[in-house]
Amino acid sequence: MTRLADIHCHILPYVDDGAEHLEEMEQLLNEQTRQGISVVCATPHLRHGMFESGNEEVKHQFERARDYIRTQKLPIYLCLSREYYCDSHFMSLLEQGELLPLGRGKTLLVEFSGRHTLDIICHRLQKVIAAGYQPLVAHVERYPAVRTGIDAVRRLRELGAMIQVNAGSLLGREGLRQQLFCWELAKHDLIHVVASDAHGPEYRPVELGLCAHKIENKLGDAYAQRVLWDNPFSILALG
C-alpha cells in the first residue's frame, strides 16, 4: 500500500469542532498510526464568529499532540496549519500576513460556504494567489456551486488553485451525489490531495487507509500514491 500523508484533519482538542478533549486527540493519532499515516498536518478551523482560537492557543495544543507522539513513540511526523474560512475577515488577515501555511510551504488550506457562488469562490482564490499563497481548496465536493460539473473544478485549477477531496466523500459517507462527483474528478485527474478531514473517533473518523485501498483498486497504485502521498508531501515542502 502507498505511504499516506493526511494534511487536513482536526485532531487538536479544544480549538474547534474536532477532537473534544485530549483522549479523543490520542484516539485520532492512534488511529492515524494504525492506518499507516506517517505524516499529519493538523488544520484547526479559523472562522470569524465561529472558530476563533488564535494561533498561540492552537500551538499550545499542537505541543501536547507532539508530546503524546513522542512519549508513545508513534511513527508520525506532525506539523501545524489552519483551515481558513474565506470570508472578509480572512481577506484582511491575508493582508496582515499572520497565516499558518501547510508545512514549510506557501499553501493555504481554504474553505468556502455552501452558499458561495462560483464567481465569489474564484474571486477570493485570486486574492489568495495575489497575496503570494497557493490555495488548496478544502473538500471541493461540498460546494453546490462547484458540484455543477467538472468544468467548475477545471476553472478553479486554471486560476492556480489546488483541489482536495475528503476520503469520507469518496467512500460515500456524505451521500451518493458527492461520492459520484469525487470519483468523476478522480477519473479526470482533477484532484491533488485526498485527506481525512477527521473530526473525531465517531463523527467524521479517520478513513484514509480504507479510502487508499479503494483508490488503488479503482485507479491503480501510481494514482493513489500521487494524491495520498506525493502531492500532499510536496505541498508541505519539508525538504
Shortest Cβ distance from residue 11 to Fe ion (Å)? Answer: 11
Smallest gap from residue 83 Cβ to Fe ion (A): 5
Contact between 24 and Fe ion by CB under 5 A: the answer reads no
* Closer Cβ to Fe ion, 20 or 216, answer by number: 20
In the complex with Fe ion, the residue whose CB is nearer, 85 or 229, is 85
Note whether 141 binds Fe ion by CB under 5 A. no
Which residue's CB is nearer to Fe ion, number 169 or number 225? 169
Would you say the C-alpha torsion 168, 77, 16, 117 has a positive or negative sign? negative
Q: How much of the chain is in helix, strand and coil states, percent to nearest 5? A: 45, 15, 35
Q: Which three cell numbers stand for residue 155?
A: 476553472
Q: Which one-letter amino acid corresponds to residue 55?
A: N
Shortest distance in whole angstroms from residue 222 CB to Fe ion: 27
Q: 166 is written with which cell numbers?
A: 475528503
One-letter amino acid at 40 equals: V
Question: Sign of the C-alpha dihedral, residues 210, 168, 81, 105?
Answer: positive
**Minimal CA–CA distance to 161: which of 190, 194, 196?**
190
Which region among 21-29, 59-67, 83-91, 122-130 touches Fe ion (by CB under 5 A)?
83-91
Backbone angles phi, psi at 196, to 5 degrees: -80, -35
Size of residue set near Fe ion by CB under 5 A: 2
Strands 134-137 and 77-80: unpaired
| Chosen residue from 83, 141, 174, 207 binding Fe ion by CB under 5 A | 83
Among positions 186-215, residues that touch Fe ion (CB under 5 A) are 197
18 touches 26 (CB < 8 A): no
26: contact with Fe ion by CB under 5 A: no
Residue whose CB is less far from Fe ion, 26 or 197 = 197
Q: Name the residue whose CB lies closest to Fe ion.
A: 197
Element at 159 (helix H, strand E): helix 150-159
**Which residues in 85-114 contact Fe ion (CB under 5 A)?**
none
Binding site for Fe ion (CB under 5 A): 83, 197
